[in-house]
Amino acid sequence: MKVCKFERMNNEDEVKQVIGCIQKEHPYVAVIPVLTQLQEWLQAISVSWFHEEDETSHTIVNAIEEYCRTLTDRLISDRKLNQYMKVQIEKCIEKIQVLVEDKADLLTDKIIKAEVYGLSNELFACCLRQQGLRAQTLDTGKFMQINLERKPDIPYIKESVQQYISEKRDADIFIAPLSLCKNVYGETDFMNEKRNDYYATVLATAFGADELLLSTQINHIYANRNSRREQHSLTYTEAEQLINSGVYLLYADCISLAAHSNITIRLTDTHDLTTERLYISSHDTGNSVKAILFQDSVTFVRFTSLNVLPGYLLVGKLLEVINKYKINVISMASSNVSISMVISASPDTLRIVQKELHKYAEMVIDENMSVIHIIGSLHWQRTQVESHIMNTIKDIPISQISYGGSDQCFTLSVHTTDKNRLISLLAAHFFENEFAT
């Protein structure tokens, strides 16, 4: 059984693209975002409502109604479905108009938002019904409960889902809105939208899915694109180590939850729903290089000892300051006189660090750097892999190399101006010229 999550739908063309992907993938659950225009209007309602601009609020609600009616006419040609959808629009708009008359408070604002999410969901379900699918909307506001720590209550969700499914056995597909849930007090709530992938993973776990397709922003990842899955397949461990090292891939708990439930994760880009970019599962294909990831806007810092502290105390002092300001260290190398780090930190934070350490070490900073992570089965016995990497990029200046801390990652730091050329050379060598800049 399969769950698909889509990150965005800006317009009717993208609605059609998502429908096409669903028809190809045949998921049991599709997690759908609210249309972008509706999301913008919801934010505008919140602003005008809390500023007691009642007329503005009602005007925006009327715009939502007109927009949904227009979309219905463009996307749903079946007369009965079209009429049904317009009745749902009318009911929803009436509820919202009443709600905006009330005194502004956070809970009512969330209820308005939930109403529009449900309307967008119903419109999408009608589009699928027109394609011959028995689509049912999934009211996640009733069973996707978060606890006092604002984490999903997975045992409760599983129990509620099973009951929900038993009541709607004739459905071919369930349509769920992104992020909608209820809190521990039973009130309408929303999970942090930065955790949309985790929201979908929780649903996949609750439904007992064995596969999860995630559409997400992954334009910083390069892998083999010739449809040979073994060449872009990561293990759960490889993916988890990447995330823990600071590389944005997914929300970290997605991997641990998927691994615990043995759910295969497939990643596609939001701009290209048809091409699988990464495949994450328990199976290790053993390929030497599977993917290349990059991070921009990082800083190379070298600390050279002023011989005030012994080496071991200097290292301790550096790590104490790094921990104090919660600085993400991407890679680190040391010698008997200096310590080099590639870090992610703001200029203000770097100035504070320099002020705290000026008695103990000279600090040299090189900004506008990028980090390249070469991912695969790279344990030290495979002597040909690192030699192939270094030989391929021998004409590009490298600031720092990190190798040996992980059997799955070889990390290079270079000036951002050299990044694209380095990636092109590596991809051409390891991905059989399938890479295109």
Please give the average per-residue pLDDT across 231-256, as a whole number: 78
pLDDT digits (tens, 9 = 90+) for 149-198: 888 888 888 888 888 777 767 788 999 998 899 998 889 999 887 788 99
Q: Which residues are CB-contacts of 11 (< 8 A; sequence separation ≥ 6)?
A: 35, 36, 37
CA 253, CA 202: separation in Å to the nearest integer? 10
pLDDT digits (tens, 9 = 90+) for 359-392: 999 999 988 898 888 887 776 666 677 778 888 8
CA 59, CA 69: separation in Å to the nearest integer? 16
Query: Taking 80 as the threshold, does the pLDDT of residue 349 lie above it?
Result: yes
Query: Taking 90 as the threshold, does the pLDDT of residue 138 lie above it?
Result: no
User: Per the structure block, which two tokens stand in for 155?
Assistant: 């045992």
CB-facing half-sphere around the CA of 135: CA atoms within 13 A: 26
Domain ranges of the chain: 2-216, 291-430
Q: What percent of the chain is modeled with pLDDT above 70?
A: 92
Amino acid 40: pLDDT: 92
Query: Taking 80 as the threshold, does the pLDDT of residue 7 lie above it?
Result: yes
pLDDT digits (tens, 9 = 90+) for 25-76: 999 999 999 998 999 999 998 888 777 777 888 899 999 999 999 999 999 9
CB 54 within 8 A of CB 100: yes
Query: Taking 70 as the threshold, does the pLDDT of residue 245 lie above it?
Result: no
Amino acid 436: pLDDT: 38
Which of 5-19, 164-178, 231-245 is predicted most confidently? 5-19
CB 303 within 8 A of CB 338: yes
Mean confidence (pLDDT) of the chain: 85
Q: Write the class of the CATH domain 2-216.
A: alpha beta
CA 367, CA 415: separation in Å to the nearest integer? 8
Query: Taking 50 as the threshold, does the pLDDT of residue 428 lie above it?
Result: yes
DSSP classification of residue 270: T
> H or E stretch including 116?
helix 106-130
pTM > 0.85: no
Report, at the CATH architecture level, how domain 291-430 is classified: 2-Layer Sandwich (3.30)
Query: Taking 90 as the threshold, does the pLDDT of residue 128 lie above it?
Result: yes
Count of other CB atoms within 10 angstroms of residue 44: 17
More confident residue, 403 or 282: 282
First to last CA, the chain: 35
Q: What percent of the chain is modeled with pLDDT above 90?
A: 30
Cβ neighbourhood burial of 326 (10 Å; 0-12, 13-18, 19+): exposed
pLDDT digits (tens, 9 = 90+) for 415-425: 999 988 888 88
